[in-house]
Amino acid sequence: MFRWALGAGVAGASLLGQAAAAHALESRSYVVSYFSQQFNSRDGDCPGGVNPDDQAGQYAVILQGLGYKPDEVKSMMSEWAKGGDGEERINAIVNARAVINGQNVNAYTHPEATKDPGLKFVTSKVGYGFNLDGKDGEVSFTDPQTGEKGVDNMLSRAIGCNQNFRGSWDAPSAYGEWIWVQLKDSQPAWLITITGEDIDKDGPVTVRLTRALEYLKSNLDGSPRHFMTYRVDPDPRSHNEFKAEIKDGELKVTEHKPLSLLWNALSSPVLNLKNTHLRLKMLKGDTLDGLVGGYQPWTEIYFAFSHNGIVGDRPGLYYAMKKAADADPDPKTGMNMSISTAYRITAVPAFVQETPHLRYQSAEVK
């Protein structure tokens, strides 16, 4: 039984051995410095090439499908490219292209009222992630880092043939890079705190994932600043604690409970994972680098995609994820509502205050 000794003030990431009644425990805290879906794109893993992704190209195809003649499409896309009212007008036509009972409706709310473009799936057998179901099937991957077989990451298989999701461990996808730059400065940061008797040695630890009240603090060049102070948001919707094990400098959670972290409506309002798996290499300089994976409601992923043209054909992604979903069948329809996935996660050392106090006690406006 340990006590979070951080409550009374600010605790150091690596400087404190936290005293408890029976055991001397130490805690190290980190702030997440990158988080996005992990892909392992390779030449030839999309038969016949990747899906068309250019937004203008997509729109041109859609407008043709709506019955506009080629010269009309050319004129409309020229108007779209100029931005302003013209762009808004074309966007409105494309957005409302779904038709139900003769009425034009929002295609992203009603993807079933649009045609499935049949996006290609990744055919590769090598991909990052975790074996979530203990099985090794036809659509499973082998993880290139761990060699683990039966890796479940159907999200990367479903969307990995779209140009902006093409990426690798060393070269993140364009979407991943773009969304992280957006997210890091517009959402409270996520925190990781590892607690154990001696974190430098192999042995059991506890890992706590929470959300801060502050956003990630960065250097002038945009890189994450080390050893900054963050306060833990008392909102219990972002409080998670897992038993874990450190072996050979790598932390792995040993209990695979659900994970819930309030996120950002730019990606998904909440990161919800079931059967959570986490592995983090503890690198020199007290940084962390690894993967977190599990089954995630695919509609929550679609939420972000539905708003953002850079992802490619949005209803197409809806159909792709719906087909690839591999967990949580709906009791009534049988449709799988969750999809296996893996996210790259890195973190830098930070100070964490567990129980923030309100600095401003009252407001009188009357």
Partner 1 sequence: MSQLKIMLKVGVAAAAIVFAAGTQAADKGAKRPVYTTPPGITLQALGRGQGWDLGKETASVVFRDEVAYTDARGMTMYTYKLDAPGKSNCTADCTEKFKPVAPIAGSVAFGDWSIITRADGAKQWAVQGRPLYTYTEDVDPGSLAGNSAARFGAKRMDGSGKMVGGGIRGSGGRAGGKDKPMPENWQPALMYPAGEKFGAVPNGVQIEEILESSALGLVDHRRHTLYVFDGAAKDEKKLTSAGWTPLAAPAIGFPIGDFTIIARDDGTSQWAYKGQGLYSYDEDQKFGDSYGVGADTRWKVAAVQKHFLPDGVKLQPTLNQGYTWATEAGMTLYKRDGHIYQSGGGHSLHRGQPHRPAVGRDIGTKSRCGDACDQWKPFLAPANAQPQGYWTVYTRDDGQKQWAYMGYALYTFAGDKKPGDMLGHDTYNMELSFDAKKIVDVGTPMDGVATLVWAIAYP
Task: List residues near partner 1 by CB under 8 A.
Answer: 84-86, 88-93, 95-96, 100-101, 103, 105-106, 108-113, 182, 185-188, 213-215, 231, 233-237, 262, 264-266, 269-270, 299-300, 302-303, 306-308, 314, 333, 335, 356, 358-366
The phi, psi pair for 352, rounded to 5°, reads -130, 130
Least distance from partner 1 to the Cβ atom of residue 324, Å: 16
Residue 361: helix, strand or coil by DSSP? coil
Choose between 239 and 256: whose C-beta lies nearer to partner 1: 239
The phi, psi pair for 127, rounded to 5°, reads -165, 160
CA distances from 272 to 142, 156, 242, 259, 268 (A): 24, 17, 15, 6, 9
> Is there a contact between 114 and 315 (Cβ–Cβ < 8 Å)?
yes
CA-atom Rg of the chain in angstroms = 23
Least distance from partner 1 to the Cβ atom of residue 17, Å: 29
Tokens representing 30 are: 């980190």
> Is there a contact between 349 and 225 (Cβ–Cβ < 8 Å)?
no
Least distance from partner 1 to the Cβ atom of residue 97, Å: 12
What is the spatial distance between Cα 246 and Cα 243, in angstroms, rounded to a whole number?
10
Least distance from partner 1 to the Cβ atom of residue 98, Å: 9
Residue located via tokens 């006690």:
361
Tokens representing 194 are: 């590892």
Q: 10 Å Cβ neighbour count for 171?
A: 12
Least distance from partner 1 to the Cβ atom of residue 265, Å: 5
Residue type at 246 in one-letter notation? I
Choose between 201 and 357: whose C-beta lies nearer to partner 1: 357
Residues in the chain: 366
Least distance from partner 1 to the Cβ atom of residue 364, Å: 5
Choose between 46 and 321: whose C-beta lies nearer to partner 1: 321
Choose between 78 and 91: whose C-beta lies nearer to partner 1: 91
Least distance from partner 1 to the Cβ atom of residue 136, Å: 31
Choose between 64 and 109: whose C-beta lies nearer to partner 1: 109
Choose between 109 and 145: whose C-beta lies nearer to partner 1: 109
Choose between 53 and 233: whose C-beta lies nearer to partner 1: 233
Least distance from partner 1 to the Cβ atom of residue 89, Å: 4
Choose between 279 and 314: whose C-beta lies nearer to partner 1: 314
Choose between 18 and 182: whose C-beta lies nearer to partner 1: 182
Least distance from partner 1 to the Cβ atom of residue 213, Å: 4
Least distance from partner 1 to the Cβ atom of residue 333, Å: 8
What is the spatial distance between Cα 107 and Cα 76, in angstroms, rounded to a whole number?
19
Residue located via tokens 């962390």:
288
Q: 10 Å Cβ neighbour count for 277?
A: 21
Choose between 16 and 310: whose C-beta lies nearer to partner 1: 310
Nearest to 314 by CA among 45, 56, 38, 116: 116
Residue 309: helix, strand or coil by DSSP? helix
Residue 60: helix, strand or coil by DSSP? helix
CA distances from 217 to 140, 308, 351 (A): 38, 26, 12
> What does DSSP assign to residue 111?
G
